[in-house]
Structure 1
Amino acid sequence: MSENRNMFIAIALSLVILLGWQFYFGMPEAERQAQQQAQQVNAAGQAAHEVSAAPTPAPAGSPDGVPQPGQGSTLPGVPMTRAQALALSPRVAIDTTRLHGSVALKGGRVDDLLLMEYHETVDPSSPNITLLSPSGAPNPFYAEFGWAAAAGNPVKLPGPDTVWTAEDGAKLTDRTPLVLNWDNGEGLVFRRTYAVDDYYMFTVKDEVVNSSGNPVTLYPYALVSRHGVPHVEGFYILHEGLIGVIGENGLQEIGYSDVEPGTPQGFSGNVGGWLGITDKYWAATVIPDQAQKFDAKFSTVMRGSKPTFQADYLAAPVTVGPGETVHSKSQLFAGAKVVQVVDGYQSTYNIDRFDLLIDWGWFYFITKPLFLVIDWIYRLVGNFGVAILVVTVLLKIIFFPLANKSYASMAKMKAVQPELTAIRERYADDKVKQQQAMMEMYKKEKINPVAGCLPILIQIPVFFALYKVLFVTIEMRHAPFFGWIRDLSAPDPTTIFNLFGLIPWDPSAVPVLGAYLMLGAWPIIMGITMWVQMKLNPAPTDPTQQTIFNWMPVIFTFMLAHFAAGLVIYWAWNNALSVAQQSVIMKRHGVKIELWDNVKGMFRKKKPTA
């Protein structure tokens, strides 16, 4: 009975993981390839410049609104490189330890940003990550701030084509702000001050000085815009696209394919929150004054065959009387989603649920604490791989009482195997009496027949939480372990099919089967430890069950070869600790460890029962 239950549970767990792999990896990969093909087709017949769009008409008394997605300078000519697009506007440099780039004086946009601490590959000489790019570049992605007027109000406002002025030699650093000025020639002077800290937070102060004889009512706005669908990971456990926490509406996660062109998703009368566009490791979000009301919107429009996505907000109106000066403050986060930095901004600026910018998932209460423990240990040992090993030991200690009872029950089960075999033979033709006799024996010996499954069940939530940590946190990106593992968030790069690099041949290049030939050293170590752990248990008497259990380590070995190396290392180490713990408990209960006998049993032909 216990063997049947264990078998069914093992099969169920295998199916869950196999189906999960197909759902989270296979299907998204196919969709991603289709998406990339569609993008290539779209890009082939499209110029890199953007066409100006007219603002959406607004009812009388309401603001003309935030500029629509894609609205900006008309850039005539042929497709441009990023450098050519940057050269279309005079610029003021951004120069901090972690950020390099520039602010465009034409439009006053933050549209040029490189992340100096991060590279495209594990090679430190590879290009830095480009986060923001101007309109006209191959992949425009930028932030814009400004003022909107009430409908029908002819006030002249700065827009995408406005050229602001700055002092000669101005530069935006973490110590020196940047001040831009523009006079509309009709009595209004606009001043914008950019400041940036030593990480990724920009503070934007927009001022209006009214020297005319009439009051003016204006609405502050801010937006993040991205032209075209970027490369995305394509996994269902990770959100990439439009995102925000918008007052009482809470967290909004909208994929690139979920916003219908011309049908914006709006949220009115909000207090507190933020919104923008996120990638796996990077994001750009605009953050309104957390004490002021604002209307938020996610939208997309088509410019030819290319979509333009936008997240924006329109703040409550301000009236500038004659001779008065008013200002509006907002913030822009543009950078890497470092956990400590994001959490720090939430605390420092009291930004509503800003930590949800990192996709911790439904099991937030497990995933984030697990990361914080790993990160704390990392700061002590200096290696995330070692930190994962230490956390595995700590988890073993925490669950030791439960695992101890489980392994003790398994040891008792193994000790009574001869009696179980005798009961099966005695009641071979009467399954009901066979089950009754076995249950009586379990009760007499105080054995829980399903206790052996508890260690596996305990491991599942930890496994998925660690997988999430490795997949979404930038701290794990390009984090080395030892030897050939230079990135714990990526699969083991070696494979046994070229003798771990000794043969100059790349198995991944093989059509169709290439992905299955990437079987690295750590997945093999994991498979061996899993096999040894299973062989500590009594061999199933049923040949079908025995075949399933014999092949299970092989299946898991090939399956986990595509998972992050850090996860495979965790599983192998956890198996090794379980083998040691189970062996000690079995010896303590006087049970012989028949590992070698079970190995020989794999190759021993079973005689059919009468």
Structure 2
Amino acid sequence: MFSENRNTILAIVLSLIVLLGWQYFVAQPQLERQQAELQAQQAAEQAQAELNGDPTKPTPNAVPGQASAPTSSAAAIGLTREQAIASSERVKIETPKLSGSINLTGARLDDLRLKDYHETVDKSSPTIVLLSPKGGPTPYYADYGWVADPGSDVVLPEADTLWTVEDNDQLTPSTPVTLSYDNGSGLIFKRTYSLDENYMFTIEQSVQNNTDTAVNLYPYGLIARNGQPETAGFYILHEGLLGVFGEEGLREIDYSDLEEENQIRPAEVDQGWLGITDKYWATTLIPTPGETFQPSFSYSSVSKNFQADFLGQGVSVPAGGEDGTSSYLFAGAKQKHLLDAYEDSIGVAKFNLLIDWGWFYFLTKPMFFAIDWLFHLVGNFGVAILLVTVGVKLVFFPLANKSYVSMSKMKLVQPQMTEIRERYSDDRAKQ
């Protein structure tokens, strides 16, 4: 038996050596060559784009005869994150869970830190950065706005529009912030950010029409991330773009898949959400449940931007009147109890699927509930894991005990079996 175990271990070790050798000497050089070719192609595309026009100007997705959410084009331009933040006027965000700011240029949410989480186990290490502004090393932000019908001459706020603070100069759970922009042609745009004590933003957009003609506009929301972040690379854990869309349910899109397809447009739905997820954190757009929206995922080979966006139902703002819409944005840690609470309070369909439970969810979810319950009982994750391990051992003890008994019996007869093999070494039938 021990000889067989030794052979099995040897076979596993040799297999690992072969796999690692193949990865290092064959697969890795091929991957590096492909990446070099891709970079050369992207550089050529960037050069051509610069010859044809301004590559940093947002342009609408090409859908003939249909309004679409703009395509963001953020790229790093050499500033540090701190320099990029300091280069624009801002409204501060301060809550028990979050800190950061809203950029008055574009009214973008592009500066957010998670106060309860640190880069290392050392509590004095920097807190986790979730969102970062354009111009810095890793732009990642959420943006909202309006688009008009194709061919319309309505003057809309753009990415470089400077908004004005109307009331509070700091966003807290008790003080929402309202920003406004007057287009000089009779339209006044307002955007109000509200935030609870955790990670859920409410974004209300309205338009005051002081002209003598009704205006048709479509609200949009987008999350843009420049470049592919470093991921865990664990094949059963999804990191990338994802969403839940009505009856279609959960859809997960890898960064590499979106790079190949450039754009993915699920069907219009009136229930769901979409965004970008990391291992522990996520940024998610949540249109108001019950209102139809067009979801979309896109990638730009020029700006290297990954984007998740939605286009909402059209709003007709009457002459001399005002109208608007609202939606939600989740930006924070993927805590199971919070996702469940938002699913109930807001009506976000299947929001707990923001957590990837893996292929064996029927095992991982009960294990999580057990560990989480024990953690809240004893106050220590290590002790909770040990208690769950002991519990699993007890559950499977009857099966394990049968195995131990069988092994014990085999050990007892092992000397007789050895003696028989030696006595009848030349007679296999008697053995």
Give the aligned partner of residue 85 of structure 2: 86
Aligned residue-pair number: 416
Rounded Cα–Cα distance in structure 1 between residues aligned with 2:244 and 2:14: 32
Q: Tell me the residue number matched to 1:490.
A: none
Q: One-letter code of the match for 2:56?
A: V
CA contact (8 A) 1:262 1:301 kept: no
How big is each residue's C-alpha offset from its partner over 1:406-453, in whole Å with a ceiling of 9 and x where there is no partner?
A: 22222222223234334434654455664xxxxxxxxxxxxxxxxxxx
2:72 paired with 1:69: yes
The one of 331, 343, 351 equivalent to 1:334 is: 331
Three-state SS of the structure 1 residue aligned to 2:266 is strand
The answer as to 2:407 corresponding to 1:410 is yes
Q: Deviations over 1:181-226 (max 9, x none)?
A: 2222333222211111111111111122333222222211111001
Between structure 1 and structure 2, the one with the greater Rg is 1
Three-state SS of the structure 1 residue aligned to 2:243 is strand
Match of 2:342 in 1: 345
Deviation string for 1:237-276 (max 9, x for gaps)? 3322222222333322222222237831111212322111
Structure 1 counterpart of 2:73, which letter?
A: G
- One-letter code aligned to 2:413: V
Q: Which residue of 1 aligns with 2:381?
A: 384
User: Aligned AA for 1:113?
Assistant: L
Distance 1:282 1:261, change over 3 A: same
Shift of 1:14: 4.5
Alignment of 1:89-168 (within 5 A): 89-167=88-166
Deviations 1:429-482 (A, max 9, x none): 455664xxxxxxxxxxxxxxxxxxxxxxxxxxxxxxxxxxxxxxxxxxxxxxxx
Alignment of 1:43-54 (within 5 A): 51-54=56-59
Residue 582 of structure 1 is matched in structure 2 by none
Q: What residue in structure 2 maps to residue 190 of structure 1?
A: 189
Which letter does structure 2 place at the counterpart of 1:255? D
In 2 relative to 1, CA 270–129 (structure 1 residues): closer, same or farther, beyond 3 Å? same
Q: Is the 8 A contact 1:100 1:114 kept in 2?
A: yes
Residues 14 and 391 of structure 1: CA distance in aligned 2, closer, same or farther (over 3 Å): farther
Change (3 A) 1:285 1:17: farther
Deviation at 1:152, TM superposition (A): 1.4
Given that 2:236 and 2:359 are in contact with CA atoms closer than 8 Å, whether structure 1 keeps it comes out as: no
Specify the SS of the correspondent of 1:259. helix
Q: Distance in 2 between matches of 1:401 and 1:109?
A: 59
- Deviation of 1:227 after TM superposition, in Å, equals 1.2
Counterpart Cα distance in 2 of 1:409 and 1:324: 84
Show the counterpart of 2:50: none
Which residue of the partner structure matches residue 256 of structure 1? Answer: 255
| Aligned match for 2:360, one of 360, 363, 370 | 363
Q: Structure 1 18/349 Cα, relative in aligned 2: closer, same or farther at 3 Å?
A: farther
**Between Structure 1 and Structure 2, which shows a larger proportion of helix residues?**
1
> Which has the higher mean CA deviation after the structures are superposed, 421-430 or 320-329?
421-430
Letter in 1 for 2:398: P
Q: State the AA in 1 paired with 2:70.
A: P
Displacement of 1:404 = 2.0
TM-aligned CA deviation for residue 380 of structure 1: 1.8
CA–CA distance in structure 1, aligned partners of residues 292 and 358 of structure 2: 28
Cα gap change, 1:124 to 1:50, in 2 (>3 Å):
farther
Q: Which moved more, 1:365-374 or 1:248-257?
A: 248-257
Shift of residue 18, structure 1, vs aligned partner: 4.8
The change in CA–CA distance for 1:433 and 1:347 in structure 2 (over 3 A counts) is farther
- Deviation sequence 1:91-137 (CA, Å, 0-9, x none): 11000111111111111110011111111122221111111111111
Secondary structure, counterpart of 1:232 in structure 2: coil
Residue type of the alignment partner of 2:310: Y
C-alpha RMSD of matched pairs (Å): 3.5
Q: Is the 8 A contact 1:188 1:210 kept in 2?
A: yes
Q: State the AA in 2 paired with 1:417.
A: Q
Give the TM-score normalised by the residue count of structure 1. 0.62
- Please state how far the C-alpha of 1:143 moved relative to its aligned partner: 0.1
Supply the distance in 2 between the matched residues of 1:296 and 1:428 (Cα, whole angstroms).
74
Distance in 1, matches of 2:173 and 2:7, equals 57
Percent sequence identity is 49
Q: Distance in 2 between matches of 1:9 and 1:242?
A: 44
TM-score, structure 2 length as denominator?
Answer: 0.85
Offset, 1:366? 0.9
Deviations 1:321-345 (A, max 9, x none): 2344322221111112223223332
Instruction: Judging by fraction of residues, say which structure has more strand.
Output: 2
For the residue of structure 2 that corresponds to 1:416, the secondary structure is helix
Match for residue 510 of structure 1? Answer: none
Q: How much has 1:71 moved relative to structure 2?
A: 6.4
For CA contacts below 8 A with separation 6 or more, give which structure has more relative contact order.
2
- The change in CA–CA distance for 1:337 and 1:50 in structure 2 (over 3 A counts) is farther
Pairing 1:396–2:399 present? no
Aligned to 2:198: 199
Letter in 1 for 2:415: P
Which residue identity lines up with residue 52 of structure 1 in the other structure? K
Contact between 1:50 and 1:136, CA under 8 Å: does it hold in 2?
Answer: no
Hey, what's the Cα distance between the residues in 1 that align with 2:188 and 2:14? 63
Gaps of 5+ in 1: 435-610
Q: Look up the equivalent residue of 1:88 and give its one-letter code.
A: S
Q: Does the CA-based 8 Å contact 1:53-1:71 persist in structure 2? A: no
Q: What is the distance in 2 between the residues matched to 1:17 and 1:288?
A: 49
Q: Which runs of no fewer than 5 residues in structure 2 stay unpaired?
A: 47-53
Say whether 1:284 aligns with 2:283. yes
Shift in Å, 1:140? 0.5
